[in-house]
Chain A
Amino acid sequence: MTIDAANLKRMFEAIAVAIEADKDRLCQLDGVIGDADHGIAMELGFNAVRDALAPLDLAATEPTALLNTAAKSFLNAVGASSGPLYATAFMRAASAVKGKATLVEADFIALFQAMAQGIKDRGKAEPGEKTMVDAWQPAAEAAAAANLAGKTLAESLKAALAAAESGAEATKDMIAAKGRSSRLGERSLGHMDPGAASAVTVIGAMTKSLTSAL
């Protein structure tokens, strides 16, 4: 099983659809501990990615170029915090698969890990600070562990999704240490971090899209 530019394009389309469906919930989660626009930012970003990828000649586009296009279009459409975080994720993903025309399963796991690391580096956040890192890091670790244990990409991504879900759930018990909600102190307790929630949506759409293609 290999993944090419067409698979990646369909993956981004699937994320855009999933985020659009989830937009209102994400804005509401953000409204409790922030400024209520996280769903809007994510929708703008992934719609911009979808529009930027649409005219690409996929036969002549390597995954790296596609991912860099995604990074640039997401960043320029959004700004905010999700802009630099996801743009960095896609840029790191691009460099993780540089020079490859198609990706084997281990390449995609490396790409996925690079995304999580990019988000962590750009936001300078550690697990436990109630951010999207609390979903992305365990997801990347679970995917890598499953891959190492000889699981298929589909199984590895399912493990990643499950880890992201429990990571996001765990943010309810955390006090925010980064971002706008960090000024709330203990008042952020009991609420899921919207960035972790949207990470689950993104990872879920990636999993579904790539799994159904496999």
Chain B
Amino acid sequence: MPVQTKKIINDGNRAVDEMLEGILAAHPRHLRSADGSPRSIIARDGPRPGKVGLVIGGGSGHEPTFLGFVGRGLADAAAIGNVFASPPPDPILECAKAVSGGAGVLFMYGNYAGDVMNFDMAAEMADMDDIEVRTVLTTDDVASAPRDQRQKRRGVAGNFFIFKAAGAACDRMLSLDEVERIARKANDHTFTMGVALSPCSLPQTRRPNFEIGADEMEIGMGIHGEPGIARGKLRTADEITDEMLDKIFAEMAPSRGDKVAVLVNSLGSTPLMELYIMNRRVKQRLDDIGVSIHATWVGNYCTSLEMAGASVTLFHLDAELQTMLDHPCDCAMFRAG
């Protein structure tokens, strides 16, 4: 009998629905589920006539991504899938209907084959209901494809900045064209690298999703446990952070005087102590090259169940993106401005 991972659950197959019940109970001021569609989570105060509706979504197991970012000034709705699996078209369509204010709807989600198929089917169905839908995929994970194939990359923790910018653009009542342009620009300016130290495990299997040696780490691992780009002996926080930043800098090409926002994100079970140690190094490195930090977030933003590990994201700001980042939002699990 293989060792089972320990989790506080009742029934693996009910984990997502029971989590949603708990989230709605905790955040009644921010969230509701769409009528007859419990996996469609809608902002109570967000959708309104004339505003582009922002629908995000994807698999469960990444909390607070996605539904923690539903609220006024950010996403209007999130469609929730099974653990690490895209939601089907129906709950996505229900989200689109619930947030459509007549100015169109933007779908935003990480670039994964399953999500693309399900969201595209939902977009076709929304079109039949005369709701115009555009799609912007997030592709911030530097580790997941070479630079000349950026469109193949995964969307990971950088979703946080990209959704934030797009949500602000929607909240400022910009047109669908403008919202889409800003969303794409935010994606192009966002760079993430992750490192995994120990595996996650699914509630249904309660077996580690991958094997990694007790003294090993894997750079570039995906948020579902997809293999990364290099596995090696666990090194110090500064060495790991440097390796990730070197790759990010090579892509971002920062100049002295530039501004960034920083996100140091736990993949689930890495504590704040370690994240702040990494953030200290991020600050040192940015200081060294004369890049100033406009704002920093440290904590759980895009997780992978109980995976140990972390990611660093830099959001390369210009005046417009900074305005969008600073725009106030009020979500169930995140507030700004």
Q: Which residues of A contact B (CB under 8 A)?
A: 27, 31, 33-37, 40-41, 44, 75-85, 122-123, 178-184, 187
What is the count of residue pairs linking A and B with beta-carbon distances less than 8 angstroms?
97
Complex: A184 Cα to B17 Cα, angstroms: 32
Nearest-neighbour CB distance to chain B for A192, whole angstroms, equals 16
Complex: A35 Cα to B152 Cα, angstroms: 18
- Binary contact readout B126-148 vs A (1 if CB under 8 angstroms, 0 otherwise): 00000000000000000011000
- Whether B86 lies near A35 (C-beta < 8 A) is no
CB-defined contacts of A34 to chain B, threshold 8 Å:
224, 226
Within 8 A of A (CB), among B84-125: 84-90, 112-114, 117-118, 121
- Whether A81 lies near B225 (C-beta < 8 A) is no
- Whether A37 lies near B226 (C-beta < 8 A) is no
Which secondary structure characterizes the binding site on chain B?
loop
Contact of A180 (CB < 8 Å), options: B89, B204, B207, B222? B222
Besides the contacts A76-B90, A80-B81, what 7 more A-B pairs have beta carbons closer than 8 Å? A33-B227, A37-B84, A37-B204, A79-B87, A80-B86, A81-B86, A83-B114
The interface on chain B, measured as residues whose beta carbon lies within 8 A of the other chain's beta carbons, has a size of 33
CB nearest to B153 among chain A residues: A183
CB nearest to B205 among chain A residues: A27
A-B contact pairs, 16 of them (CB 8 A): A37-B204, A37-B205, A78-B88, A79-B82, A79-B87, A79-B118, A80-B81, A82-B114, A84-B117, A84-B121, A85-B117, A122-B117, A182-B152, A183-B152, A183-B226, A184-B227
- Whether B85 lies near A75 (C-beta < 8 A) is no
Give the residue among A33, A40, A179, A184 with the most B Cβ atoms within 10 A: A40
Complex: A36 Cα to B211 Cα, angstroms: 12
Which secondary structure characterizes the binding site on chain A?
helix
Nearest-neighbour CB distance to chain B for A111, whole angstroms, equals 22
- Known contacts: A27-B205, A80-B114, A81-B117. The answer to whether A183 contacts B154 by CB under 8 A is yes
CB-defined contacts of A180 to chain B, threshold 8 Å:
112-113, 222, 224, 226
- Whether B114 lies near A84 (C-beta < 8 A) is yes
Q: Which residues of B contact A (CB under 8 A)?
A: 59, 81-90, 112-114, 117-118, 121, 144-145, 152-154, 202, 204-205, 207, 209-210, 222, 224-227
